[in-house]
Amino acid sequence: MTTATAPGKIILFGEHAVVYGEPAIAVPVREVSVEAEVDDLRGASPGTIFLEAPDIGLRGWLHEAPPDQPLARTLQLVLDEFDLHEFTPIRVHVHSTIPIAAGLGSGTAVTVAVIRAFAEHFRLPLPLQRQSELAYEIEVLHHGTPSGIDNTVVTFERPIYFVRGTPPEPFDIGSPFTIVIADTGKPSPTSQAVQKVRRAWEADRERYEALFEAIGQTAREARGVIERGQVRDLGPLMDHNQALLEALGVSCEEIQALIAAARSAKALGVKLSGAGLGGNVIALVRSESAKRVEDAMHGAGAVRTILTQVGR
Ligand code: MEV
């Protein structure tokens, strides 16, 4: 049996503006992950695949799955990449602890873990860059115009400074810091949020381009601050990025409730993370006040919190 994993991710700065060419910063979240297992399935016909993904209620043969089922599409893409046809039948089991549709990269991590498990099982090594490109192809199927930041950070598993269309820049964290990730419990529909911003931009390019540029500036400044380990300066940058995301129209009542709670519990900075309109809020906290911030966010409706140490 072959097992491979891929982590979750959060965007620290620059979501949405990154689709329009501005920089963004994302980090892996190792506290949650996807594990994909591949093993031989004796007795079945050659070249067939039995799929098990209990977290999304999927169990059946690949050739009987609807072709647009996301996991089926991933498997087809991987089979094409490796030009696999007449192989010993296999069972693919996917298990995830990454909350779905919450901005934590669950779909991307499934794709990357499956690609890795196949590559190992069939002894066909695939460079990280190619893994990322394949995961990008799946992102395109899901939401049309992805920037590529999600597949990049999930594949490279390092803090990434990312500008669309240029090679990703992994960078070092000067001093580790603690983030509370709090889930509103409301799904974050990436494609809807991205389309909403696109329509708004088409209607008023000047205003939205100024917002994108200002968001990009927070990401540029944040990179320096993170590299120098000036954790205290990160909080105000997160708050500023959040104000700009609100101006873009991707916040919502549930996000605002968690943000207010984190602020009242003395988080150092707080913003939504990912596409917004639901999904997750991230709060920068001193490690000794993490519990207080988590409790406050639970009290304001968070269905789950995850504590992550960035750079440790
Ligand atoms: C989604 O995780 C991040 C967005 O910026 C979309 C993208 O970059 O493709 C909203």
- Catalytic center residues: 150
Atom of ligand 1 nearest to the CA of 15: 5
The residue among 215 and 75 whose pLDDT is bigger is 215
- pLDDT for the residue numbered 279: 95
Atom of ligand 1 nearest to the CA of 19: 8
Give the model confidence (pLDDT) of 38-61 as tens digits.
999 988 899 999 999 998 888 999
Atom of ligand 1 nearest to the CA of 194: 10
The SS3 of residue 159 is coil
SS3 content of the chain, % helix, strand, coil (to 5): 45, 25, 30
What residue owns the CA closest to ligand 1's atom 2? 274
Gap from CA of 154 to ligand 1 centroid (Å): 13
Q: How far apart are CA 241 and CA 216, in angstroms?
A: 9
Gap from CA of 45 to ligand 1 centroid (Å): 40
The number of beta carbons lying within 10 Å of the beta carbon of residue 25 is 25
CA-to-CA separations, 72 to 49, 124, 155, 223, in angstroms, rounded: 10, 20, 20, 37
Share of the chain above pLDDT 70, in %: 100
- pLDDT for the residue numbered 57: 86
pLDDT of 144 higher than 80 = no
- pLDDT for the residue numbered 101: 80
What residue owns the CA closest to ligand 1's atom 10? 275
The SS3 of residue 175 is coil
The SS3 of residue 280 is strand
Gap from CA of 193 to ligand 1 centroid (Å): 9
The SS3 of residue 136 is helix
In the block, residue with structure tokens 């209990």: 54
* Listed residue (80, 270, 112, 102) closest to 188, CA to CA: 102
Give the model confidence (pLDDT) of 250-265 as tens digits.
999 999 999 999 999 9
Atom of ligand 1 nearest to the CA of 145: 9
Give the model confidence (pLDDT) of 276-293 as tens digits.
999 999 999 999 999 999
Residue count of the chain: 312
Q: Which residues line ligand 1 (CB under 6 A)?
A: 11, 15-16, 18-19, 103, 146-147, 149-150, 190, 194, 274-275
- pLDDT for the residue numbered 67: 81
Q: How far apart are CA 118 and CA 2, in angstroms?
A: 8
Q: Which of 19, 161, 251 to mutate to test the pocket of ligand 1 (most atoms within 8 A of CB)?
A: 19
Gap from CA of 237 to ligand 1 centroid (Å): 19
The residue among 84 and 263 whose pLDDT is bigger is 263
Q: Which of 10, 11, 136 to mutate to test the pocket of ligand 1 (most atoms within 8 A of CB)?
A: 11
Residue 261: in which H helix or E strand, if any?
helix 253-264
